[in-house]
Amino acid sequence: MRLLSQCCAGNASATLDAMVPQQEICKVYDRIAPLYDIWGRLAESRARMRAIELAGIANGSTVLEAAVGTGLAFLEIVQRNRDGRNMGIDLSSGMLEQSRQRLRSLPGASYVLAIGTALDLAQGTGTIDILINNYMFDLLADEDLDRALREFKRVLKPGGKLALVNMTKSETLSGGFYELLYRLSPRLMGGCRGVRLTEKLKQQGFSVEVREYHQQMLFPSEVILARA
Ligand SMILES: C[S@@+](CC[C@H](N)C(=O)[O-])C[C@H]1O[C@@H](n2cnc3c(N)ncnc32)[C@H](O)[C@@H]1O
């Protein structure tokens, strides 16, 4: 009963830390990769598309998507940036394989998909116009949140855009459902719990231009546009 009331209390409960360590994330996502799109479309599609809209990708840009997953956003990015540079990285080879299959629908398009971690990016300092990152911070340990944000700030050009989507703390009673699920089985939730990133972004020197709350299938997301 206490658990239920904590979870449904929305912002009254403290943010939970990640319960699935990074070393296990690969295995978890390799396993769910073939089915991920069902969830990705049902509960996350509106927030993901809103982030792409906010990013305002101009053709000819240098764009990095960190934690590219199965490529649901990456396909949209590459379509908008046919003459630019498009890079997608992810920890999970299973998720990357789904991305590769999806991008086959754009023969001749220019992009690179590679294994990599957002905690230690291979890209040079000040080289990226737009960085897109969806539903990754919600599965990082608290101690890694600042580290990833510092890496994003490092690789972005000054004034470069960061479009971010996370599972967030529910702002409605019904949105607390998924936090309850996370408490019962973190793996069932793919290791994701609600986070709020605007304050952390400001601490790392980003200026936050937009922060929106979206809820789809009761699943609470925040969409953020910030500048380096
Ligand atoms: C919930 S899925 C989201 C996938 C995709 N961004 C989307 O919105 O459909 C989380 C993804 O983050 C990846 N991931 C987790 N930690 C990462 C890290 N440190 N660096 C890169 N990718 C990571 C996982 O492998 C997984 O593909």
The angle subtended at Cα 174 by Cα 168 and Cα 175, nearest 5°, is 10
- Which residue has the least CA distance to atom 20 on ligand 1? 117
Which class in CATH covers the domain with range 2-227?
alpha beta
pLDDT tens by residue, the chain, 228 residues? 333 333 333 333 456 777 778 888 899 899 999 999 999 999 999 999 999 999 999 999 999 999 999 999 999 999 999 999 999 999 999 999 999 999 999 999 999 999 999 999 999 999 999 999 999 999 999 999 999 999 999 999 999 999 999 999 999 988 788 888 888 887 777 778 899 999 999 999 999 999 999 999 999 999 999 999
CA 192 to centroid of ligand 1, rounded, Å: 10
Question: Cα torsion at 125, 115, 34, 49 (round to 10°)?
Answer: 10
Mutate to test the pocket of ligand 1, among 26, 29, 214 (most ligand atoms within 8 A of CB): 29
Q: What is the pLDDT of residue 190?
A: 72
Secondary structure of the chain as H, E, C letters:
CHHHHHHHCHHHCCCCCCCCCHHHHHHHHHHHHHHHHHHHHHCCHHHHHHHHHHHCCCCCCEEEEECCCCCHHHHHHHHHCCCCEEEEEECCHHHHHHHHHHHCCCCCCCCEEEECCCCCCCCCCCCEEEEEEECCHHHCCHHHHHHHHHHHHHHEEEEEEEEEEEECCCCCCHHHHHHHHHHHCCCCCCCCCCCCCHHHHHHCCCEEEEEEEEEECCEEEEEEEEEC
Determine the atom of ligand 1 nearest the C-alpha atom of 72: 9
Q: List ligand 1's pocket residues with C-beta within 6 A.
A: 25, 29, 40, 44, 48, 66-67, 69-70, 72-73, 89-92, 95, 117-119, 134-136, 139, 190, 192
User: Where do the structural domains in the chain lie, given as residue ranges?
Assistant: 2-227
Whether the model pTM is above 0.95: no
Q: What is the pLDDT of residue 15?
A: 63
CA 168 to centroid of ligand 1, rounded, Å: 16
CA 90 to centroid of ligand 1, rounded, Å: 6
Nearest alpha-carbon partner for 60 in 42, 78, 75, 48: 78
Instruction: Name the residue with tokens 């993901």.
Output: 48
Determine the atom of ligand 1 nearest the C-alpha atom of 48: 8
pLDDT tens per residue, range 153-194: 999 999 999 999 999 999 998 878 888 888 888 777 777 889
Burial of residue 216 (CB within 10 Å: 0-12, 13-18, 19+) is: middle
Mutate to test the pocket of ligand 1, among 89, 91, 103 (most ligand atoms within 8 A of CB): 91
Q: What is the pLDDT of residue 177?
A: 83
Determine the atom of ligand 1 nearest the C-alpha atom of 26: 25
Q: Would you tell me how many other CB atoms lie within 10 Å of the CB of residue 80? A: 17
